[in-house]
Structures are given as structure tokens and as C-alpha cells.
Structure 1
């Protein structure tokens, strides 16, 4: 008993203590090419048949006329893919549902389009059923379901308000996490942040504003937030800081919705190096009133996904804001960054936590993690052209936003490629949607 109390006291004092790093071995690798487009529904407004028209300083109606790049902070590297698109980009996956469809396919979510409300009014919102084939290295898209609000369930004006079918776009929501339960889809949004209940055919059934400690939790992109507004006083959720991960707990059917970034406090600072986790009861369609904390490790700035593997243990992706192989990092003070990464990937972890074990401050216990920048590949599973010149396999993408348990020894991980604004695998080339199958028996067995 004394030993257990000592361990607990240590945990309370340091929510992120030294934790075990477990090995990971590449067991499969599959790719959905970056430039994968889907045709909008025949009844969609004509405006939605060309997407990405508003990603520059002025409207651009000339398809494939402006090449994307990763941004000045990341070296300004071009990505080889140009906007606007004819059709809708399938682009990066922003969440995997824990429960799969009857045929074994994965429910996967595409986010708001091009990064924010202003530049995404012509980016349609949708989810998919995907089937990665780790034998062929390909990812089959079996179905794409477009979100729409024909029954007027969204409690604010949407971009396509004046249409009958009211297809939703990236000007309305930023969907980042997904779960499948009782033949319905639940989606976590970053803008509100909201939770959306969605029919299997894409119809919005209800929209739920986040409540924390009896008050509505809002951000700078929440409808009703008026500029100028004071961060920490008028809103507490950082921009792009809403529900990046939303885990469905087996047995209870509670949604554990996790913020991507720390909440703000008055004055504009954050409340700490931790993320709020707020629980929602799907049976009652309401918040439980409980909230918990996930402590970020040193160097991590955000999370990418969150999924249970059993009744209490869950996987969380935590990451920094870097992209690209650290072996190709720019020298300090380098002015020519054409062939190097000024902010390489340094922290990309899949963390195992136990929601049944918390300290008195509500910190969820971290059990251990795997390092996505150090993956053994003894059998040469990495696809040609998508592995480092030397050393272990790495997953050096800016946003890695998908993780789920496959079986007792394997997990699946995938990236959001922010098309056409992220690279990471190769300088001058847009990142593909990569799916990796990892053998991690020690991680999944850890308690």
C-alpha cells in the first residue's frame, strides 16, 4: 500500500513523468495519392464544382492556375499541386472511427477544406468509407457521404442557406473527429466547438454547443463571437483548437471530446500545458458535466486523434508543429531554405492512456508511447520512394490525425496532408494520404 501511495503522489506532482517508450514495427504501408478528387453530387450548387477559389488574396476562377506551397515559416517549398481544383479534394484524413462498418471498412473524415472559414466556402464537407490494402499498398475509397442540412438543424446561417438541400461547407464547420454508433455518425467540430449528430446519409440530426462548468465554451470562429473580442475573456477556445479527437467509450457510449490546444484564460495566456477532455452522453444527447485533463509531453503543442482500445484505455496522437525529416533540418540562421526543413518534425507520438486512472486534479494517466519518428522496418514494408535514405522509417508529417486499434497487436495511423499546403515526405512534393499498419504488441498490452 505504501508503495502504491508513493507512486500516486509522484504522479500527482508530475502529470507527465518519465514514461516508457515502446517499440513499433512497420507491418504495412498504403497510400491514397494527394491529388485525389471526388465529383460533387449532381444536385450541388455549381459554385461547389470548382473548389479552392478563395485560397489566395483574391478570388481565382482559373482551375489549376496557382501552385500550393507549405508557407514561409516552413521554407516556402512548392508542393507541385495547383488550385483551384475541378471537383472536391478528398485530401487529408482528420479522424478514424473506432467502430468499423460491417464489411470492415473504416469511417474516415475529411476536415473543413483549406484551413479556415474564410478560404473554404466552396469546400464541401464529407466523410468516407475507406479500405486500405496493405498487400497492394493502395487505399480504396468505397463511399463518400456529403453533409447537408435540409431540415434546418444548424442553429446559424450557413454558406448555402438559400438552397433546398443546404450542403455544408468549410465556412460552416471544421469537422475533425468522427465516431460510428448505432448506424449514426457523430462528428467533433473545431469552430464551435460543436458536436454533430449525423444520419448515415449525411443529414444533420442535431448540433450541440459545448458546455463546460455550466457555461458555453466558444472560440473566435463560433457564430456569435463579435470582433473585436478579448481572448480568454470573450472566448476561451483557440483558433483551430476545438475537438481534434473524440473517443467513443465502449460500454457507456460516452464521447470523450478532447481539445486540440489548451484553453485560454483572461489576458490571452493558456491555462497550462494540458488539454481539456469533456464527456458527452450520446443516449441523453447532453453533456455529463465532467471534464478531465490530458497532459502534453515536452515539445508537443497539440493532439491529432483519440480512440479507445478497450473500456478504459485509449490512444492519443500528440505532436509538435514540425514537418519533414530532422536529418534535413536547416542549419541555424540559414537564409536559403530551398533544400532543407526549417521546422522539422521532432515530436510525433502515439500515447496510451488509462481513463480509469486519474489524479485529484483530473489528469488522465499516461502509460507510455511509441515514437512515430522511429519505426523499425526489418521486412522492408515501406513503399518505394516513401522511406528515408537511411535509418528507421519515420512519419514526419505536420498533422498526423488518425489512429485506431486494429487487433490485439496492431494499430493503424494516417496523416492529414492539408492539400496542397503540406509536404513532409519530400521537399517540393505534396504529402500523400499515407496509412501505416504498426505492430505494437507491448504498447497495447501495457497497463
Structure 2
């Protein structure tokens, strides 16, 4: 274990790769607004406190041209015109698209590779997968330790899949968010349904995809869409007690105010949606969210971003939200805790200057490492995004940032 890893509690042993579980208390707050069930939420977190500029504390990078060893060919539907200097098809599966992250007890991380190459039409040969990685912040590198591919061997998916062997691909689902339940199984949020998908530790689907009542994306085979394409469950948090999921849509449901996103509650014990939802209001209707994770019973961290990259990236922020809606405006309260385009870097970590920018189109991985430290990962949209260096495909970067104040998080979500 490196000195950096010890300081952050990020042990990087790769012997017994165990699956850690977070467990903590229940959630609650008075919900204001039409079409919502009223619930009283109690828990930690007083009035919002100001946060100043956050600081970059570690940087590591996984090269864009990293492949799953001995895997199947991919990228056959991308054409043969080079994209950021990369020409398809590929002999193997790329290790890319990190769109969800879970911390393991041994200091490794499980990360979710999402849809594949950008959409349903071009991703039928991309195998959906949960990768296991270990950042080495001393060397600035990231090791890929293995992972599991997602499958449906028992035939729970009710519609036709791309592959007869029931290995799931980016043409079947667009998985964008991930939590791990008490039993070590995974719940993934999908954008094509949108669906909730429940997998065991080996990546096997455990039940039929759970649809969201009254909401359908254009890719949903049931038809009658009222949600934009690829705007389903981009973020999803697990309640501290492990009893509820909080999936957050990336897009606005037809008929809702512009830029209003629905945050739902799914009861894991009852196996159903509770009928309760909250409104997360984007700063601009042109923005999107990237991830959502729990801080305590009432509060969550949410990434909000614009669609720009590189010099064109203008908004990449981490908000602390409170479902109790203290100002009674019918929306969750938002407090900015980190501007990812304006991180202090006094020690020139990663060879960058005194101000560090995380200028990617999609930033979709967020994890709490201690009460003031967050891990943040980008989805590099291989090979399409070039936010770091024009003309070159983005690497998968893993940074840690130090907030200017404590989150006062429930101690049972902390390592």
C-alpha cells in the first residue's frame, strides 16, 4: 500500500477481492408539490453551509487504448473513418465509459462501463461489463484487475436480445448508474427503459427488468415514449440503511417544467416504487446530471454538467442536495460543494498548473472517500471525446478532491 493510499484509506491489495457493502439509517423530509406522496424525512444535516474552492489531491489515468484481455472484437458499426486518431473495428473490447463507481473494502473500485459507443444502433458488439480497477496515485496510473460481463442466462429479459447466448450488449441496455446492495448484488440504472436491473456478483440478471411506471424512453419496446432518448436513469443512490434506491432521471418527463428532473424512491424490501418523487431543478435546461450518491438520510451529492468539453466546457459541478426542501419551493435544495473546472492545485499534481480543470463532456462517477474527500471519474465515450487533448481520445481519469468543509456525512457510509 502506498503512502498516498494509506492517507486516503485506499488499500490497493489485490489478493482476495471482496465486495464491500454500505449500511446506514433511513431517509425522510416533508415533500412539497403536486403529484407527490407526502413523507416526513428526518436525519442528519443541518442548514446548508458555504463551501469554498475545492482542491485536487490525487490524479491517475487509464489510457484510452486499454482492452479487456482475450475479449471479443468490437466497434464494427463505427465505420472505418478515424475518430480522434483511432480507427475501428477493434480486436478486443475497450475498458471504457466509466459511468458508476463502488468502493471495495480492499481499496479497489468497481466501475460500470456503460452503453458502449454512444447509442443503441452502434453498440451491439459492445459487451456490458463491470470492471474492477485500482488507482495508483503515486505513479498516476490505474490497474485493471478484472471484472464481470453482464448476462441474462435465465431469460428474465422479456424482449429479444442481440445475442442468442444472452450476453448483454449496448444495443440491449444503456446502463449508466450502479449501487451495491447489502447482499453484494448490483442494482443498475438503465436509460433505454428506463429500467432497474438487478445482477448477482457474477453479473447474472436476477429478475425481470423493473420498468418505471408512467415513464418510457423512445428505446422502450412498449412504445408511447414521454422521455427523450438516452435520458433515463443516469444517477442512482442507495439509502444509508440499504433499504431504498433513489434513481434520478437525466431528462425531463414530457409535461414537467423545463430542466426539472424526477428523483424516485424504490423500496428494495417491497420490490416496488413507493410513489414518492422529488424534483431536481437543473441550473439550465441544457444541462444534465452525471451521478448521484447518498451522504445521509436526506442529502445526496449530484454531478451537474453541460455538454461542452475542453475549452468549451463551462459547467461541471458537484452539488450537495437536500430532499427536505427547506425553502419550500417544491424542489430539492442545492449547495455547490465543488466546481470541477476550478480546482486548486497548489502542488501541480499530474503536471497540471495551479488551477486544475476536469473538462470532459461526461463526468459520471462519484464516490465518498472520507468526510471531506471525493473521488471523481469521467466517462471517456471512447473514442469520441477529446476534452483533455484535441484530436486524441480521452483517457479514463480518476481524481480525488478535498472539499473546503466537512460533509457531516452519516458515519456508516464512510470507509
- 1:438 matches 2:401: yes
Matched residue, 1:316: 302
> Are the aligned partners of 1:315 and 1:404 in contact in 2 as well (CA < 8 Å)?
no
Hey, which bits of structure 1, 4+ residues long, moved more than 6 A? none
Give distance in 2, aligned partners of 1:83 and 1:246.
Answer: 32
- Please point out which of 89, 93, 102 is paired with 2:94: 89
Distance in 2 between residues matched to 1:350 and 1:378, nearest whole Å? 21
Bigger shift: 428-437 or 271-280? Answer: 271-280
1:175-220: CA deviations, max 9, x gaps?
0000111210110000000000000001000234333xxx431110
Structure 1 residue aligned with 2:222: 224
Judge conservation of contact 1:246–1:256 (CA < 8 Å) in 2. Answer: yes
3-state secondary structure, aligned to 1:118: helix
Q: Any stretches of 5+ residues in structure 2 without a counterpart? A: 1-31, 34-47, 411-415
2:287·2:304 contact (CA, 8 Å) conserved in 1?
yes
1:246 pairs with 2:236: yes
Secondary structure (helix, strand or coil) at the match of 2:107 reads coil
Maintained 8 Å contact 1:368/1:443: no
Q: Cα 1:308–1:300, aligned 2, differ >3 Å: closer, same or farther?
A: farther
Following the alignment from structure 1 to structure 2, what is the Cα–Cα distance between the partners of residues 413 and 312?
Answer: 22
Higher strand share: 1
> The residue matched to 1:22 in structure 2 has which SS?
coil
Task: Report the Cα distance in structure 2 between the residues aligned to 1:392 and 1:91, rounded to whole angstroms.
Answer: 26
TM-score, structure 2 as length reference: 0.83
In angstroms, what is the RMSD of aligned CA positions? 2.2
Check whether the contact 1:316–1:353 (CA below 8 A) recurs between aligned residues: yes
Q: Is residue 147 from structure 1 mapped to residue 177 from structure 2 by the alignment? A: no
Matched, 1:237 2:236: no
Checking the alignment, whether the CA contact within 8 Å between 2:345 and 2:354 is kept in structure 1 is no
1:279 corresponds to which residue? 265
- In the other structure, the counterpart of 1:264 is 254
Match of 1:195 in 2: 196
**Higher mean C-alpha deviation, range 352-361 or range 365-374:** 352-361
Is contact 1:300-1:347 (8 Å) kept?
A: no
> Which of residues 122, 125, 140 is equivalent to 1:122?
125
Q: d(CA) in 1 for partners of 2:211 and 2:277?
A: 12
Alpha-carbon distance between aligned partners in 2 of 1:187 and 1:408, rounded to the nearest angstrom: 25
Change (3 A) 1:121 1:155: same
Partner residue, 1:180: 180
Checking the alignment, whether the CA contact within 8 Å between 1:19 and 1:366 is kept in structure 2 is no
- Deviations 1:351-379 (CA, angstroms, capped at 9, x unpaired): 11122345656411112331111010001
Q: Identify if the C-alpha distance between structure 1 residues 23 and 111 changes in structure 2 by more than 3 Å, giving closer, same or farther.
A: same
Once the two structures are superposed, the pairs formed by residues 46-445 of structure 1 within 5 Å of their partners are 49-56=72-79, 65-68=80-83, 79-97=84-102, 100-160=103-163, 162-163=164-165, 166-181=166-181, 182-211=183-212, 215-225=213-223, 234-265=224-255, 271-298=257-284, 301-325=287-311, 344-357=312-325, 362-381=330-349, 383-384=350-351, 387=352, 392-442=355-405, 444-445=407-408
Describe the SS at the equivalent of 2:258: coil
Distance (Å, rounded) in 1 between the aligned partners of 2:211 and 2:329: 21
Give the conservation status (yes or no) of the 8 Å contact 2:100–2:111.
yes
